[in-house]
Amino acid sequence: MKLKMFTYVDDLQAAINFYQKVFDATVGENFKNADGLYELCEIRISRGTSFWLAERKGDSAIEGDANTGNIMQMCLMYDKSDVAKLEKAYSIIKDGAKILWELQPVEWSSHTCDLIDKYGLRWCLMID
Protein backbone atom coordinates (compact mmCIF):
# COMPACT_ATOMS: atom_id res chain seq x y z
CA MET A 1 0.00 0.00 0.00
CA LYS A 2 1.19 3.51 -0.82
CA LEU A 3 -0.07 6.95 0.07
CA LYS A 4 0.30 9.85 -2.37
CA MET A 5 -0.33 13.27 -0.92
CA PHE A 6 -1.58 15.82 -3.45
CA THR A 7 -1.55 19.48 -2.59
CA TYR A 8 -3.30 22.05 -4.76
CA VAL A 9 -1.70 25.47 -5.09
CA ASP A 10 -2.06 28.64 -7.09
CA ASP A 11 0.86 29.24 -9.51
CA LEU A 12 2.06 25.66 -9.73
CA GLN A 13 5.16 26.48 -11.78
CA ALA A 14 6.45 28.91 -9.13
CA ALA A 15 5.58 26.48 -6.33
CA ILE A 16 7.63 23.72 -7.97
CA ASN A 17 10.66 26.01 -8.13
CA PHE A 18 10.10 27.13 -4.52
CA TYR A 19 9.95 23.62 -3.05
CA GLN A 20 12.94 22.49 -5.12
CA LYS A 21 14.90 25.34 -3.53
CA VAL A 22 13.56 24.78 0.01
CA PHE A 23 14.29 21.06 0.12
CA ASP A 24 17.01 20.64 -2.53
CA ALA A 25 14.32 18.49 -4.14
CA THR A 26 14.00 17.10 -7.63
CA VAL A 27 11.01 16.76 -9.91
CA GLY A 28 9.87 13.15 -10.06
CA GLU A 29 6.96 11.74 -11.98
CA ASN A 30 5.00 14.50 -13.68
CA PHE A 31 2.42 15.33 -16.32
CA LYS A 32 2.53 18.39 -18.54
CA ASN A 33 -0.17 20.07 -20.61
CA ALA A 34 0.06 20.96 -24.31
CA ASP A 35 1.87 24.22 -23.42
CA GLY A 36 4.64 22.27 -21.70
CA LEU A 37 3.63 23.46 -18.24
CA TYR A 38 3.18 21.06 -15.36
CA GLU A 39 -0.34 19.91 -14.48
CA LEU A 40 0.81 17.47 -11.78
CA CYS A 41 4.28 17.13 -10.35
CA GLU A 42 5.96 14.93 -7.76
CA ILE A 43 8.42 16.78 -5.52
CA ARG A 44 11.06 14.29 -4.36
CA ILE A 45 12.66 15.47 -1.15
CA SER A 46 14.69 12.31 -0.61
CA ARG A 47 14.46 8.65 -1.48
CA GLY A 48 11.00 7.52 -0.45
CA THR A 49 9.91 11.00 0.69
CA SER A 50 7.82 13.02 -1.73
CA PHE A 51 4.57 14.86 -2.24
CA TRP A 52 2.61 15.93 -5.30
CA LEU A 53 1.65 19.41 -6.43
CA ALA A 54 -1.19 20.32 -8.76
CA GLU A 55 -2.66 23.61 -9.96
CA ARG A 56 -5.63 24.62 -7.79
CA LYS A 57 -7.49 26.10 -10.74
CA GLY A 58 -8.97 24.03 -13.53
CA ASP A 59 -11.58 21.45 -14.43
CA SER A 60 -10.86 19.04 -11.58
CA ALA A 61 -9.78 21.45 -8.84
CA ILE A 62 -11.73 23.40 -6.25
CA GLU A 63 -11.65 27.08 -7.05
CA GLY A 64 -12.40 30.05 -4.85
CA ASP A 65 -11.80 30.40 -1.14
CA ALA A 66 -10.19 27.35 0.41
CA ASN A 67 -9.57 26.51 4.03
CA THR A 68 -5.81 26.01 4.10
CA GLY A 69 -3.23 25.46 6.78
CA ASN A 70 -5.39 23.81 9.39
CA ILE A 71 -6.70 20.66 7.71
CA MET A 72 -3.46 18.75 7.27
CA GLN A 73 0.14 19.31 8.23
CA MET A 74 3.17 17.78 6.59
CA CYS A 75 5.83 16.96 9.16
CA LEU A 76 9.26 16.53 7.65
CA MET A 77 11.57 14.82 10.11
CA TYR A 78 15.31 15.27 9.64
CA ASP A 79 18.06 13.08 11.10
CA LYS A 80 20.19 14.59 13.87
CA SER A 81 23.07 14.87 11.40
CA ASP A 82 20.96 17.09 9.10
CA VAL A 83 20.52 20.19 11.30
CA ALA A 84 22.13 22.40 8.63
CA LYS A 85 19.66 21.10 5.99
CA LEU A 86 16.71 21.82 8.28
CA GLU A 87 17.97 25.32 9.07
CA LYS A 88 18.49 26.04 5.35
CA ALA A 89 15.00 24.79 4.49
CA TYR A 90 13.49 26.91 7.28
CA SER A 91 15.36 30.04 6.19
CA ILE A 92 13.78 29.74 2.72
CA ILE A 93 10.30 28.39 3.49
CA LYS A 94 9.57 31.07 6.12
CA ASP A 95 9.60 33.78 3.43
CA GLY A 96 5.99 34.94 3.11
CA ALA A 97 4.82 32.31 5.62
CA LYS A 98 2.56 32.63 8.62
CA ILE A 99 4.87 31.47 11.42
CA LEU A 100 3.02 29.56 14.13
CA TRP A 101 6.22 28.50 15.95
CA GLU A 102 9.64 29.89 15.11
CA LEU A 103 12.38 27.29 14.75
CA GLN A 104 13.20 26.41 18.35
CA PRO A 105 14.05 23.59 20.76
CA VAL A 106 11.13 21.87 22.46
CA GLU A 107 10.76 18.99 24.87
CA TRP A 108 10.64 16.37 22.12
CA SER A 109 13.10 17.85 19.60
CA SER A 110 16.22 20.00 19.47
CA HIS A 111 14.77 21.88 16.46
CA THR A 112 11.16 22.26 15.41
CA CYS A 113 8.92 24.82 13.75
CA ASP A 114 5.31 25.09 12.60
CA LEU A 115 4.24 27.37 9.78
CA ILE A 116 1.84 27.87 6.90
CA ASP A 117 3.90 28.67 3.82
CA LYS A 118 3.08 31.20 1.12
CA TYR A 119 1.23 28.50 -0.86
CA GLY A 120 -1.05 27.64 2.07
CA LEU A 121 0.65 24.38 3.08
CA ARG A 122 1.21 23.75 6.77
CA TRP A 123 4.62 22.35 7.67
CA CYS A 124 6.40 21.07 10.71
CA LEU A 125 10.14 20.75 10.17
CA MET A 126 11.92 18.97 12.99
CA ILE A 127 14.85 16.86 14.11
CA ASP A 128 13.66 13.31 14.75
Amino acid at 54: A
The model's pLDDT over 82-116, given as tens digits with 9 standing for 90+, comes to 999 999 999 999 999 999 999 999 998 999 999 99
- Strands 38-46 and 6-9, by their bridges, are unpaired
HSE-up of residue 13 (Cα within 13 Å, Cβ side): 6
The model's pLDDT over 7-51, given as tens digits with 9 standing for 90+, comes to 888 899 999 999 999 999 999 999 998 999 898 899 999 988 999
Q: How far apart are CA 117 and CA 128, in angstroms?
A: 21
